[in-house]
């Protein structure tokens, strides 16, 4: 990766505006990086170098005319194939192109395009975002670049998003998070991830999985990159530079960090718990006020998830209504769950929603005495993708990897993950920070303050072995 691409997004954006670097040069380097690693990593379902060059040239032309369209102008970006983008067909991880109505830009992509960001292509994903390992029987799964020998999970459902960051073909990746799908791939690939409060950003123009919990989100190489990009795209902020200046003075000292109860730590494998606890302790030594924090409502949220949850029911309803012909070709891993959802009595669905709403109301009060609650993002190391990808063993493992992630969605909270180390297998480990719903800006400022103490993923983890020149 060149020196230009290796800098924080804010620095790159400033250099673009000052004419010190060209968007076309960044795009060409991103294209070179992808071509170097694409055969092994398979980040993209639709790789679009010609489109990227057009985007970059438009950004450069605007800069040359003295026009700044937005903070992300000229920044190489990847988009999960759940987002509609008028320049691309939408497949949502399925083997067939979705109808044209799913190719109209929603507000998030429209903002990205108005800012003249450089869109590199659409990344691979789990079919209709229903699953956490990255498995897709139609296309296969991208490879986690931290294991040279074995094909391991990159996390899902935004399975190609984190990989695109690792290979250097994008500096910012768009994903969605319904139960884990931004934070999980971010953590498993050694990147930062941001799950916003549901409703903060519109889901229009995004193929739905669960209208009750779908949330657009961002993956980036650092929390600072995620913060800058969040502010650039957020309707209430709209300027990455101003937001970064505002939070730059936020110190970790005095911040109240709740250390999650044992339920979030028991079962950690390969030294994950010790690595995350070490990062939390480092924040304490830097002045953060550490205290035990209870979030018992997480158990209820996870219980509902294990009973079948909400997503399968709402996905089946969407498919029956909008894409009935797709049911015949649905991934065999997911077909049984969607079949059961079709016969589930309505009172069961309503009862599950009511239980989660009650738990969410109680969970909000847990943040009266803490600013965030800290825990491992994922308790388990990324799985081998060469094993059996169906049956109860597979789904038990899937439930295990989302154990600490589901509660933030089900309890209407916001959450971020930061890379903090490598486990005993040499695979990335994430620290998750959860905050009260609506406290997105506060959460992001705390995440950036923590990163200034702990260092970025590059600082702590180095470069993925499969992405070294």
Tell me which residues are annotated as active site: 80, 157, 181
The helix (H) or strand (E) run that includes residue 431 is strand 428-435
Please answer whether residues 164 and 120 qualify as being in contact, where contact means their C-beta atoms are separated by less than 8 angstroms: yes
CA dist 399 → 113, 208, 404 (Å): 36, 21, 10
Per DSSP, the residues of 354-384 read: HHHHHHHHHHHGGGSS-SEEEEES-SSPPPB
Q: In what order do the strands lie in the sheet with 428-435?
A: 44-47, 118-123, 76-80, 172-176, 216-220, 192-195, 414-422, 428-435, 372-376, 256-260, 289-293
Please answer whether residues 333 and 390 qualify as being in contact, where contact means their C-beta atoms are separated by less than 8 angstroms: yes
SS3 188: helix
> 178: buried, middle or exposed (CB in 10 Å: 19+, 13-18, 0-12)?
buried
**For residues 374 and 252, what is the distance between their CA atoms, to the nearest angstrom?**
14
**For residues 355 and 346, what is the distance between their CA atoms, to the nearest angstrom?**
14
Nearest to 26 by CA among 16, 36, 17: 16
Nearest to 194 by CA among 213, 215, 211: 215
* Sequence-distant (≥ 6) Cβ neighbours of residue 236 within 8 angstroms: none
């Amino acid at each position: 990766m060149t020196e230009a691409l290796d800098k924080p997004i804010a620095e790159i954006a400033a250099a673009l505006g000052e004419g010190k670097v060209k968007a076309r040069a960044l795009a060409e380097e991103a294209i070179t990086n992808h071509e170097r690693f694409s055969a092994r990593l398979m980040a993209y379902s639709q790789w679009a170098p010609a489109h990227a060059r057009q985007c970059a040239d438009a950004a450069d032309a605007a800069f040359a005319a003295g026009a700044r369209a937005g903070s992300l102008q000229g920044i190489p970006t990847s988009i999960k194939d759940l987002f509609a983008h008028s320049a691309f067909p939408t497949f949502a991880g399925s083997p067939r192109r979705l109808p044209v109505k799913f190719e109209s830009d929603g507000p998030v992509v429209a903002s990205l395009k108005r800012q003249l960001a450089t869109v590199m292509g659409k990344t691979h994903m789990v079919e209709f975002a229903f699953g956490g390992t990255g498995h897709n029987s139609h296309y296969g799964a991208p490879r986690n670049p931290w294991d040279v020998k074995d094909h391991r999970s990159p996390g899902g459902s935004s399975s190609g998003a984190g990989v695109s960051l690792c290979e250097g073909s994008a500096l910012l990746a768009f994903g969605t998070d319904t139960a884990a799908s931004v934070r999980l791939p971010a953590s498993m690939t050694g990147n930062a991830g941001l799950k916003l409060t549901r409703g903060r950003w519109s889901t229009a123009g995004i193929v739905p999985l669960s209208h009750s919990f779908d949330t657009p989100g961002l993956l980036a190489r650092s929390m600072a990159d995620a913060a800058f990009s969040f502010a650039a795209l957020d309707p209430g902020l709209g300027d990455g530079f101003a937001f970064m200046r505002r939070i730059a003075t936020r110190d970790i000292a005095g911040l109240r960090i709740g250390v999650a109860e044992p339920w979030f730590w028991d079962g950690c494998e390969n030294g994950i718990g010790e690595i995350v606890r070490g990062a939390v302790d480092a924040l304490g030594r830097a002045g953060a006020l550490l205290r035990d924090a209870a979030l018992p409502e997480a158990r209820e949220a996870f219980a509902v998830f294990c009973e079948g949850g909400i997503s399968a029911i709402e996905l089946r309803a969407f498919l029956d209504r909008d894409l009935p012909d797709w049911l015949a070709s649905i991934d065999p891993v997911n077909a049984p769950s969607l079949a059961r959802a079709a016969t589930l009595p309505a009172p069961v669905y309503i009862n599950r929603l009511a239980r989660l709403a009650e738990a969410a109301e109680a969970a909000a009060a847990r943040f009266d005495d803490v600013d965030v609650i800290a825990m491992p993002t994922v308790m388990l190391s990324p799985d081998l993708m060469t094993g059996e990808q169906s049956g109860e063993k597979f789904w038990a493992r899937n439930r295990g990897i989302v154990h600490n992630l589901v509660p933030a969605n089900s309890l209407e909270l916001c959450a971020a993950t930061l890379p903090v180390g490598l486990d005993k297998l040499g695979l990335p480990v994430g620290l998750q920070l959860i905050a009260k719903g609506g406290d997105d800006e506060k959460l992001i400022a705390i995440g950036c303050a923590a990163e200034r103490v702990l260092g970025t993923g590059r600082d702590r983890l180095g470069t993925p072995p499969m992405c070294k020149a």
